[in-house]
Amino acid sequence: MTASMLNREHAVLAREAQDIADAAARLANDIPAGLTAGEEKQLARAVQQFLVRATRASAMREVATLYEAEIAPTEER
Protein backbone atom coordinates (compact mmCIF):
# COMPACT_ATOMS: atom_id res chain seq x y z
CA MET A 1 0.00 0.00 0.00
CA THR A 2 1.52 3.29 -1.04
CA ALA A 3 1.82 6.35 1.15
CA SER A 4 -0.89 8.16 -0.81
CA MET A 5 -3.25 5.22 -0.33
CA LEU A 6 -2.53 5.24 3.40
CA ASN A 7 -3.14 8.98 3.53
CA ARG A 8 -6.48 8.56 1.75
CA GLU A 9 -7.43 5.74 4.11
CA HIS A 10 -6.56 7.91 7.09
CA ALA A 11 -8.66 10.76 5.69
CA VAL A 12 -11.62 8.41 5.26
CA LEU A 13 -11.16 7.10 8.80
CA ALA A 14 -11.01 10.65 10.15
CA ARG A 15 -14.28 11.53 8.40
CA GLU A 16 -15.92 8.35 9.68
CA ALA A 17 -14.73 9.05 13.22
CA GLN A 18 -16.18 12.56 13.00
CA ASP A 19 -19.49 11.17 11.70
CA ILE A 20 -19.58 8.71 14.60
CA ALA A 21 -18.86 11.48 17.10
CA ASP A 22 -21.64 13.61 15.60
CA ALA A 23 -24.09 10.70 15.72
CA ALA A 24 -23.17 9.97 19.34
CA ALA A 25 -23.69 13.63 20.24
CA ARG A 26 -27.13 13.63 18.57
CA LEU A 27 -28.07 10.48 20.46
CA ALA A 28 -26.82 11.96 23.73
CA ASN A 29 -28.93 15.08 23.21
CA ASP A 30 -32.19 13.11 23.07
CA ILE A 31 -31.74 9.53 24.23
CA PRO A 32 -35.45 8.52 24.25
CA ALA A 33 -36.01 9.76 20.69
CA GLY A 34 -32.75 8.19 19.54
CA LEU A 35 -33.66 4.83 21.04
CA THR A 36 -37.11 4.99 19.47
CA ALA A 37 -35.53 5.67 16.08
CA GLY A 38 -32.98 2.87 16.53
CA GLU A 39 -30.04 5.25 16.36
CA GLU A 40 -28.07 3.23 18.90
CA LYS A 41 -28.06 0.24 16.54
CA GLN A 42 -26.93 2.39 13.62
CA LEU A 43 -24.22 3.90 15.81
CA ALA A 44 -23.06 0.47 16.95
CA ARG A 45 -22.84 -0.73 13.32
CA ALA A 46 -20.92 2.40 12.31
CA VAL A 47 -18.46 1.93 15.17
CA GLN A 48 -17.98 -1.74 14.32
CA GLN A 49 -17.32 -0.95 10.65
CA PHE A 50 -14.95 1.84 11.66
CA LEU A 51 -12.98 -0.51 13.90
CA VAL A 52 -12.70 -3.09 11.12
CA ARG A 53 -11.44 -0.45 8.68
CA ALA A 54 -9.06 1.03 11.24
CA THR A 55 -7.66 -2.41 12.06
CA ARG A 56 -7.19 -3.13 8.36
CA ALA A 57 -5.44 0.22 7.83
CA SER A 58 -3.18 -0.46 10.79
CA ALA A 59 -2.27 -3.89 9.44
CA MET A 60 -1.57 -2.47 5.99
CA ARG A 61 0.62 0.23 7.50
CA GLU A 62 2.53 -2.42 9.44
CA VAL A 63 3.03 -4.51 6.31
CA ALA A 64 4.27 -1.45 4.42
CA THR A 65 6.67 -0.63 7.25
CA LEU A 66 8.01 -4.18 7.33
CA TYR A 67 8.37 -4.22 3.57
CA GLU A 68 10.31 -0.98 3.60
CA ALA A 69 12.54 -2.14 6.45
CA GLU A 70 13.19 -5.75 5.49
CA ILE A 71 12.18 -6.71 1.98
CA ALA A 72 12.96 -3.63 -0.10
CA PRO A 73 16.64 -3.46 0.94
CA THR A 74 17.19 -7.12 -0.03
CA GLU A 75 15.61 -6.56 -3.47
CA GLU A 76 18.16 -3.86 -4.24
CA ARG A 77 21.07 -6.27 -3.90
Tell me the pTM: 0.75
- Mean pLDDT throughout 15-19? 96
- Mean pLDDT throughout 48-58? 95
One-letter amino acid at 63 equals V
Neighbours of 42 (CB within 10 A): 13
- Mean pLDDT throughout 10-14? 93
Confidence of residue 6 (pLDDT cuts 50, 70, 90): confident
| Domain assignment of residue 18, given as a range | 3-75
- Mean pLDDT throughout 41-65? 93
57: Cα separation from own chain's centroid: 7
Query: What's the structural domain count of the chain?
Result: 1
Per DSSP, the residues of 23-41 read HHHHHHH-HHHHHHHTHHH
Q: State residue 61's pLDDT score.
A: 86
